């Protein structure tokens, strides 16, 4: 039996829609695999009651098929589905690493990105890699048609998760088909600023670079209380705030000493609206980790 821990992720980061992603130190999924004549899946943990165990409907089933690696796969969910924190991507990434090792397929982490992305297609309808890439590789990732560029980074963040759900499919439906040239220019500049910030481990530049006037405003409408929570986080010291992935998770970049105040401010802002939430005080961290039992 092999065990893999794969981290939660935050995709888009505001200005990098369908391109940027980061691995988070916490939370994470844990996947255990052992060889079997045919694939069987069991799921426990956060939101497990909403996750199908039929391999044909589960992200890890698609990964097992892609690697021709049947196994008994046990998923312990630390990342709630429909959270905006890459829940399905973490399971797919963990399964890809585990099954690749279990069957000695010899694929590199980069080569596993499109394999894990096939699992994501079951959730979003398309094989996007902006979550699976950082979950596999860690740090900050840039996904393009030409491949994945990865950079180690260690920016402190707070990821606040309210007790509501936003499906990836719904969030994609509100993405505009076109944008004003002025907004595109601003977003490109912000994306460049964020990237420079990652290379310098500079929370101020990363926060400034999260601004986006194209996709984020449409998605914030799906999250009750977003503006109030964003304002509270900024007042508490956040350098930038945006929707995490498809939402409803909200990501705040910050300096380490401000994390506690920012987490409390975000929770309090949701609480004032009668919405329960929790906040992870974490940082951009490592990718999936393999353990041999």
Catalytic residues: 120, 168
Asked whether residue 64 is marked as a ligand-binding residue, the answer is: no
Asked whether residue 66 is marked as a ligand-binding residue, the answer is: no
- DSSP string over 24-37: EEEEEEEEEEEE-S
Q: Residue 162: in which H helix or E strand, if any?
A: strand 156-162
For residues 54 and 65, what is the distance between their CA atoms, to the nearest angstrom? 13
Asked whether residue 165 is marked as a ligand-binding residue, the answer is: no
* Residue of 210, 208, 204, 211 whose CA lies nearest to 256: 204
Collapsing DSSP states into helix, strand and coil, what is residue 252? strand
Collapsing DSSP states into helix, strand and coil, what is residue 235? helix
Asked whether residue 82 is marked as a ligand-binding residue, the answer is: yes
Length, in residues, of the chain: 293
Asked whether residue 87 is marked as a ligand-binding residue, the answer is: yes
Asked whether residue 81 is marked as a ligand-binding residue, the answer is: yes
Asked whether residue 85 is marked as a ligand-binding residue, the answer is: yes
Sequence-ordered list of residues with C-beta below 8 angstroms from that of 111, at least 6 positions apart, any chain: none
């719904």: which residue's tokens?
170
Asked whether residue 89 is marked as a ligand-binding residue, the answer is: yes
For residues 25 and 6, what is the distance between their CA atoms, to the nearest angstrom? 10
Q: Which residues are annotated as a binding site?
A: 80-90
Annotated binding site for ATP: 80-90
């Amino acid at each position: 039996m092999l065990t893999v821990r794969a981290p939660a992720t935050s995709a888009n980061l505001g200005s990098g829609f369908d391109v940027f992603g980061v691995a988070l130190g916490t939370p994470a999924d844990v996947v255990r695999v052992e060889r079997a004549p045919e694939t069987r899946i069991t799921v426990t943990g956060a939101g497990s009651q909403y996750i199908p165990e039929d391999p044909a409907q589960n992200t890890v089933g698609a990964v097992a098929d892609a690697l021709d690696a049947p196994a008994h796969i046990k998923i312990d969910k630390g990342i709630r589905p429909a959270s905006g924190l890459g829940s399905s991507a973490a399971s797919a990434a963990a399964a890809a690493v585990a099954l690749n090792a279990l069957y000695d397929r010899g694929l590199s982490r980069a080569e596993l990105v499109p394999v894990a992305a096939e699992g994501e297609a079951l959730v979003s309808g398309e094989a996007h890699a902006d979550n699976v890439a950082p979950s596999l590789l860690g740090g900050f990732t840039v996904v393009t048609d030409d491949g994945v560029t990865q950079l180690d980074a260690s920016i402190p963040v707070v990821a606040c998760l309210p007790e509501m759900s936003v499906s990836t499919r719904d969030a994609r439906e509100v993405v505009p088909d076109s944008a004003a040239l002025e907004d595109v220019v601003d977003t490109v500049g912000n994306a460049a600023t964020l990237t420079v910030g990652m290379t310098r481990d500079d929370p101020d530049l990363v926060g400034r670079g999260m601004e986006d006037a194209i996709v984020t405003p449409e998605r914030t409408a799906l999250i009750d209380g977003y503006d109030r929570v964003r304002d509270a986080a900024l007042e508490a010291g956040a350098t930038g705030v945006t929707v995490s992935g498809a939402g409803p998770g909200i990501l705040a970049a910050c300096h380490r000493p401000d994390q506690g105040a920012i987490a409390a401010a975000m929770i309090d802002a949701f609480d004032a609206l009668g919405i329960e939430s929790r906040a992870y005080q974490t940082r951009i961290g490592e990718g999936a980790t393999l353990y041999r039992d």
